[in-house]
Amino acid sequence: MRFNFRTLAGALAIGGTAFASAPAFAEGEVNIYSYRQPDLIKPLLEAFTSETGVKTNVIFASKGLGERIATEGESSPADVLLTVDIGRLDGAKQLGITQPVVSDVVESNVPAEFRDPEGHWIGLTNRARIVYASRDRVDQDSITYEELADPKWKGRICTRSGQHVYTIGLIASMVAHHGEEKTEEWLSAVRNNLARKPAGNDRAQVQAIFAGECDIALGNTYYMGLMQTNEKEPAQKEWAESVRILFPNSEGRGSHVNLAGIVMIKGAPNPDNALKLIEFLSSDGAQKIYAETNHEYPVKPGVEVSERVQSWGEIKKDPLPLADIARHRKAASTIVDKVGFDDGPAS
């Protein structure tokens, strides 16, 4: 017997938000587990239902969805999992909860570097791991990730935990480009340039620049959009105004980009509708909605970014396949602990 989706939605609402539009498993529905907040994906799902007639049932939680699906096993009501970061996408594959997606539409819409080679995950939007720089205290208009180790930045860098998936993705990309030994040397030097122990989320780093605690910080591009449009907390608009975005390595390999993406769950009760959703999310119209709503970059070539994202400047993306970067995540995590990155700058 399968889980009742409505009952499970109520259980998962603890620590998150849940909503469901109709009883599960009826013809013409798809069940979605999502790490992406309901407000962010609602416009997409409304457009999907309008175009296809397929109803969507959604569970949102901030953590633990992949593990829950693994625990539910064959009884899981989930058709797809929406998530962020190559770590979580590849992590779902490693949990054994995914199945390959075979679709000419997806292969045509999503470049190979943003898909699992075996089809177990598909990227939907990009975000770049960039540098926020103080408008008042940083004059230069370009930077590289390698430069963050330069002693000129001593006491001037803020960032979130080295073990956060966003940071691990960047460090894994450095391992992919430079090897483990050189990346360890680099990260040790970056640690010594920190203004404080890593703490807080990406927006907190911009707040720290605004407060004068540091001059540059690592963060994802879309947080700039979230801060610039935050009507509930207008102070964040001031934080955003105090910084500008520098796209690292623009004159070289390009900036590290990560993904928001989707997987189809092994044993999905509605596989045909799951495939319809995945193909829809890779289409021109959905890519435009997704990117504009979340201030991200479409993965489908030719789909324009929003005016706001354009205003941040032109991005050159590191072409290294995300699957290659994912293979170095374990090494990246080990290096973070080895150099004591989260302990902050050496005395």
The dihedral through the CA atoms of 104, 49, 116, 246 has a sign that is: positive
What are the C-alpha distances in Å from 305 to residues 36, 166, 298, 308, 309?
Answer: 20, 22, 7, 8, 6
Q: Which residue has the tokens 């997704």?
A: 290
Q: Which amino acid is at 104?
A: D
Residue list, annotated binding site? 222-223
Contact 316, 128 (CB under 8 A): no
Give the Cα separation of 321 and 10 in Å (integer): 38
**Residue 297 and residue 288: Cα distance in Å, rounded?**
9
State the binding site for Fe cation.
Answer: 222-223
Task: For residues 217 and 144, give the distance between their C-alpha atoms in angstroms, rounded to a whole number.
Answer: 13
Q: Cα separation of 52 and 279, whole Å? A: 11
Compute the distance between CA of residue 35 and CA of residue 309 in angstroms, rounded to an integer.
23
Which of 208, 212, 233, 237 is CA-nearest to residue 224? 237
| Torsion angle, alpha carbons of 215, 218, 222, 225, to 10 | -10
What's the full length of the chain, in residues?
A: 347
Residue 20's SS3 state is strand
Distance CA 284, CA 7 (A): 35
| Region for 64 from its dihedrals, namely left if φ exceeds 0, alpha if ψ lies in -120 to 50, beta otherwise | left
Say if strands 122-134 and 257-265 run parallel, antiparallel, or are unpaired: antiparallel
